[in-house]
Structure 1
Amino acid sequence: MFLDPKEFSFIVKSTPLVSIDLIVHDENGSFLLGQRINRPARGFWFVPGGRILKDETLDSAFKRITLGELGLELDIKTAVFKGVYEHFYSDNFSSDLFSTHYVVLAYIIKVAVGFEPFVNTQHSKYNWFAKESVLSSDDVHANTKAYFI
């Protein structure tokens, strides 16, 4: 269920959101990051991912998110669960008037060398990064770097 902006603002202001992040790597050990268009983390390179919707199973959410972010509808059983993470942002999807708190379920996905996702409404572009570049770049968000430490 998607909410209108006013309802969603109330939710974001009042409670944590639950999401899935996708740590996508290829057979060469490169990792896929997208440059974020929207708040929070606007302008930073970030792993693909998305929120879990109310009444949506984890498997359904995983399929929807992988299709929407990567153009591949993947089953959650094909991924490796990395762990639970918390992301705290000083802003939210619409302003800097209140913060955002995410509880994130991170999954590792392996794709073929040369895989290119389509650009979506969350990212202006995608790029492949070596692990060392993920950790050293100031343009990669700290919440993404946490998956590689």
Structure 2
Amino acid sequence: MLPLNDFKKIVELTPLISIDLIVRNREGRVLLGERLNKPAQGFWFVPGGRVLKGETLEVAFARLIKAELNSAVISSSFKGVYQHFYDDNVSGESFGTHYIVVAYEIFLDCDLSSLPTEQHLNYKWFEEDKLLLDSNVHLHSKWYFQKEKEADIAFC
């Protein structure tokens, strides 16, 4: 990991690459976690995380499945590339965060109490139509389920 000051400079000056995991259970519900950290702190958000320097997408995907879902690598389907812009950042200083996000959908039935709590305080299974109406679900997570927005947001 980088020293905090180096990482802050990177966040201030460059986009970050990340993977978001659209997790569905066998009933088709979507897993969201209540974010502990900035950006998007306090909002319900899909699991995911940054791709590290020198890490392939495949290795990052496997690492994030383990870190975010306490699970082993499972099959996935590519959903697109998205851009997320935030007014804040993890350091709390006065600059925004820009992510280029590679989104994958996976199917996983898991016990919510077994999920890690480093990034998300609580977890909940949402019905897709209800998460779209919930003001506590972050807009960037809603984008994955807004069919009419896909053409404007995703690059495939």
Give me the TM-score of the superposition, normalised by structure 2. 0.90
Q: Is the 8 A contact 2:70 2:116 kept in 1?
A: no
Q: Is the 8 A contact 1:119 1:126 kept in 2?
A: no
- AA aligned to 2:53 is K
- AA aligned to 2:64 is I
Q: Which runs of 5+ in 1 are unaligned?
A: none
SS at structure 2 position matched to 1:108 = strand
Cα distance in 2, alignment partners of residues 27 and 88 from structure 1: 32
Equivalent in the alignment of 1:15: 14
Give me the TM-score of the superposition, normalised by structure 1. 0.94
- From 79, 86, 90, the equivalent of 1:89 is 86
Q: Which runs of 5+ in 2 are unaligned?
A: 147-156
Q: Is the 8 A contact 2:132 2:142 kept in 1?
A: yes
Map 1:27-38 → 2, pairs under 5 A: 27-38=26-37
User: In the comparison of the two structures, how many residue pairs are matched?
Assistant: 145
Map 1:92-131 → 2, pairs under 5 A: 92-112=89-109, 114-116=110-112, 117-131=114-128
1:134 Cα deviation from its structure 2 partner: 1.0
Identity score, percent: 48
Cα distance in 1, alignment partners of residues 66 and 45 from structure 2: 17
Q: Is the 8 A contact 1:18 1:102 kept in 2?
A: yes
Cα distance in 2, alignment partners of residues 4 and 140 from structure 1: 31
1:50 Cα deviation from its structure 2 partner: 0.3
Cα distance in 1, alignment partners of residues 130 and 73 from structure 2: 27
